[in-house]
Structure 1
């Protein structure tokens, strides 16, 4: 069975609409897909409708990816198998939207100091009603010739320590876990290997996540060394966490595809066993 429990659509910073995303999942023979847009569930209804109308051989898991702050580091927590209409989740989404708007306005001011004008309006147009993220600002910087790639945009302007970086003020990890549980879901620590933490600090994060009631960590991701995957599998067992897999798909690239190369170490305990019979 092919599983991918971390993907994005145009409801946040993905490039494919929810319809295009589930169609591509079917083409890639993904059996179980979670749509986990940043701080929004706006794409779920369209994705479900497309699967039903076109009889696609994909089971969709309702999800979300919540942004949190821990020691000035932005940590992402994925919620799987959530009740997308739960009042507590709706309130959290509104709270996150307000924080994103404030951050985007400040980012625009800081970019103006770098003699880059129109960034907020440009990023907002690229978002086209979706959750506004730094990825939209990165696309603006690339399309207007300020940077050669989105990675360069983050390195030079948007990322931590860069010229226009704006510190984040998100909810805590514990608050994210609590609202995911309130909505009936499982809380998954997203891409733990991408926070550039030492082993000591990563284990501190895992301990914090467990104390908060977290359920699982992403063990299998694209562009991952066998050593990292083995370590994450070992730590999932050590900390009593289920194991998840996710491409963090935003758009197709030679190194990122739905469901591609997402396998778990033999002793891992899959998180999807909590909400499916697969």
Structure 2
């Protein structure tokens, strides 16, 4: 396929923790010049057919997508899957199993927040949930902003929802190897999402990339909404070191919350092997 002018392969809809429908996201992406798009909701493929239909209507090319939460060295790491069969029973069941733990975790978070005087957080968070099976910290953050506890969602996470804070409850997600296998067995490519966010030591990060590749992982997000220009350079070099394909995605969630809009990222550094080139036959 010809090189896309603007590929955005990471964003979220109301099917997980975004605030826009798949159709509204498609319209926003198209208006911003995106010509290859993927909806990558957390642990859920329920919006894929809607996203594909909307992309086709708008003349965008489309890759199926998902973002899977995994636990690695006691840290939540996100693995994006692209170009897979969204109806493959192995990935459908694996994602269902992963989602099952979100409800109990959310209730435990609410109990912790109540201990510091914030009552009704679970019920409040549910008001912002498009899919109750995927209630997350982001929904709690929106509730705490709207109820006046914090100015914005960043403050919520700093004060309440990160490790060591009153509302933080750890969750044991899928294993790295399981997530990569679900994606690859369904015909897709597994990609490490926004690696700079994990704050691993150099040795821990090397272990992540090494194990990821051993399981069959093939890509890494180099340019993403949470990476600085220097981090993009760093992970372009990491991709070359490990022989990985490069990807690009805004990680857009909401017009009011996301720092980077759909389609607004800088291009990938030149001459790098891309995920979409490897998935040319899976683009719809």
**Common fold by TM > 0.5:** yes
Among 28, 52, 60, which residue is 1:58 paired with? 60
Deviations 1:69-125 (A, max 9, x none): 011100000000111111111111211221111211111111111221111111112
- Structure 2 residue aligned with 1:22: 26
Secondary structure of residue in 1 paired with 2:276:
helix
Worse-matched range after superposition: 253-262 or 185-194:
253-262
Equivalent residues in 2 for 1:35-50, closer than 5 Å: 35-50=39-54
- Structure 2 residue aligned with 1:124: 126
**Contact between 2:19 and 2:254, CA under 8 Å: does it hold in 1?**
yes
Secondary structure of residue in 1 paired with 2:182:
helix
CA distance in 1, matches of 2:169, 2:6: 38
Task: Work out whether 1:190 is the aligned partner of 2:193.
Answer: yes
Deviations 1:15-62 (A, max 9, x none): 11101000111101101001000010111122223334xx31211211
CA distance in 1, matches of 2:148, 2:229: 37
Task: Work out whether 1:259 is the aligned partner of 2:274.
Answer: no
Secondary structure of residue in 1 paired with 2:50:
helix
- Structure 2 residue aligned with 1:32: 36
Unaligned runs of 5+ in 1: none
Deviations 1:117-158 (A, max 9, x none): 111111112103352111001101111112221111111111
Aligned length: 276
**Contact between 2:90 and 2:182, CA under 8 Å: does it hold in 1?**
yes
**Contact between 1:190 and 1:218, CA under 8 Å: does it hold in 2?**
yes
Secondary structure of residue in 2 paired with 1:169:
coil
**Contact between 1:36 and 1:78, CA under 8 Å: does it hold in 2?**
yes
TM-score, normalised by the number of residues in structure 1: 0.94
Secondary structure of residue in 2 paired with 1:35:
coil
Secondary structure of residue in 2 paired with 1:245:
strand
- Structure 2 residue aligned with 1:78: 80
**Contact between 2:225 and 2:252, CA under 8 Å: does it hold in 1?**
no
CA distance in 2, matches of 1:30, 1:235: 26
Unaligned runs of 5+ in 2: none
Equivalent residues in 2 for 1:194-213, closer than 5 Å: 194-213=197-216
- Structure 2 residue aligned with 1:172: 175
- Structure 1 residue aligned with 2:102: 100
Cα RMSD (Å) of the superposition? Answer: 1.6
Cα offset, 1:223, TM superposition:
5.1
Q: Quick one: structure 1 residues 49 and 267, their matched pair in 2 at CA, closer, same or farther if it must change by over 3 Å?
A: closer
**Contact between 1:247 and 1:262, CA under 8 Å: does it hold in 2?**
no
**Contact between 1:4 and 1:262, CA under 8 Å: does it hold in 2?**
no
TM-score, normalised by the number of residues in structure 2: 0.92
